[in-house]
Amino acid sequence: MTTFHSGIDASRSDGIRLTGTRFRFEGPVSATSGGGMTIWNSGLVEITTDADFVLDGPFSQRGAGPVLTAGDITTTGDSILFQGPVRLADGAHVTLNTTAMGGSGADIRFAGTLNGQTAGTAALTLSAGGGDVRFERVVGQSQRLGTMTVVDAHNVLIAAALHADSLTQIRGSGTTLIDGPTTLYGTAGINLATDNIVQNALIDVASSGAGAAIRLTAAGDVRLNAEERGRATALYRGLCAGRAVLAAGEHDAAALTKLVEETLVRAGAVVEYVAVVDLDTFEPVARVERPALVAVAGWVGATRLIDNLEVAP
């Protein structure tokens, strides 16, 4: 094993290139003059909490060997890549940042699995700026992560199952794609804010019993998968069913509300509310004797949907 007790300071434009079996970093690593760092490892790479990397070029771990890290990696607008499996050390708060010194950001990519050393003890913070954040393999399957935070990114990809205490995206300029089932075990749940969100897999905040929240905020679209799109039509179907029974002579608002709710539940939607209100005053009515509005809100998967329909006796 090669151990760097006091770190590395490189000022060449070709940066730092290491090839070998095992490496251990115990001190800070610095590369200037446009230099980055590439590690080809067949065995374990250990990055201790004192071994933060500050690079003027990209970081690339290219070997098939695993990585155990407690250190931060910062680049000045260059990418960060982990090719092999990564494990975050117990109690570590690892920050990966490609936006230092005014850099516009670059991709942060986990091509292999990502796990904690002990469940829920390690935190991960990612700042990619205009670059993408990509989790291409399972996250937290053997030992779940603690808090996961994407400060900023263009696109975010969750390609496979993800297990963590919480997942937060503060800013995004592209699309966050959830292709893998995502399970959150802490009370903070999932909170994503970006331009577009596409959910193609289950988001589970209920199994742990922590009572976590799901918050998806998109400046553009929050898109449902094919099965959920079918269920989402239940809102309009329920409203139309209510209008039909009203036309057939049923004026009781409670009966209309029950019919709409039953239509949504049969389709697998979660009902938040169904309200029958006067069309002019928006006050609730007990009977529909003049034009009214039937309003409904419900959840399909992690997406909150609302709709309404004017009705008249």
pLDDT tens for residues 134-144? 999 999 999 99
CA atoms of 216 and 221, how far apart (whole Å): 10
- At 155 the three-state DSSP class reads coil
Asked whether the beta carbons of 294 and 313 are under 8 A apart, the reply is no
Looking at the DSSP assignment, which residues form a beta bridge with residue 53?
29, 73
Closest listed residue to residue 125, CA positions, set 152, 156, 107: 152
> Which domains, and CATH codes, for the chain?
2-223 (no CATH), 229-311 (3.30.1300.10)
pLDDT at residue 217, rounded to an integer: 74
N-to-C CA span, the chain: 83
- Tokens encoding 150: 């994407």
DSSP state of 89: P
Considering only 71-85, 118-132, 272-286, 299-313, which range has the smallest mean pLDDT?
A: 299-313
- At 131 the three-state DSSP class reads coil
How many CA atoms, within 13 angstroms, populate the side-chain half-sphere of residue 252? 4
Asked whether the beta carbons of 126 and 108 are under 8 A apart, the reply is yes
Of these ranges, 5-14, 111-120, 187-196, the one predicted with the greatest mean pLDDT is 111-120
**Per-residue pLDDT for 24 more than 90?**
yes
pLDDT at residue 129, rounded to an integer: 97
pLDDT at residue 227, rounded to an integer: 73
Supply the mean pLDDT for the chain: 91
Measure CA 7 to chain center: 34
**Residue 299 is which amino acid?**
W
Confidence of residue 69 (pLDDT cuts 50, 70, 90): very high
Angle between helices 253-266 and 234-247 (to 10 degrees): 150
CA atoms of 14 and 173, how far apart (whole Å): 32
Pairing state between β 156-158 and 86-88: unpaired
Considering only 33-47, 69-83, 257-271, which range has the smallest mean pLDDT?
A: 257-271
pLDDT at residue 212, rounded to an integer: 67
Asked whether the beta carbons of 49 and 24 are under 8 A apart, the reply is no
Looking at the DSSP assignment, which residues form a beta bridge with residue 182?
162, 203
How many CA atoms, within 13 angstroms, populate the side-chain half-sphere of residue 167? 28
pLDDT at residue 146, rounded to an integer: 97
Confidence of residue 235 (pLDDT cuts 50, 70, 90): confident
- The pLDDT > 90 percentage for the chain reads 66
Q: How many residues does the chain have?
A: 313
For CA atoms 213, 150, 117, 182, give the dihedral sign.
positive
Q: Tell me the average pLDDT across 264-276.
A: 88
pLDDT tens for residues 169-227? 999 999 999 989 899 999 888 999 999 988 877 788 766 666 566 777 777 766 666 67
Place of tokens 């959830």: 178
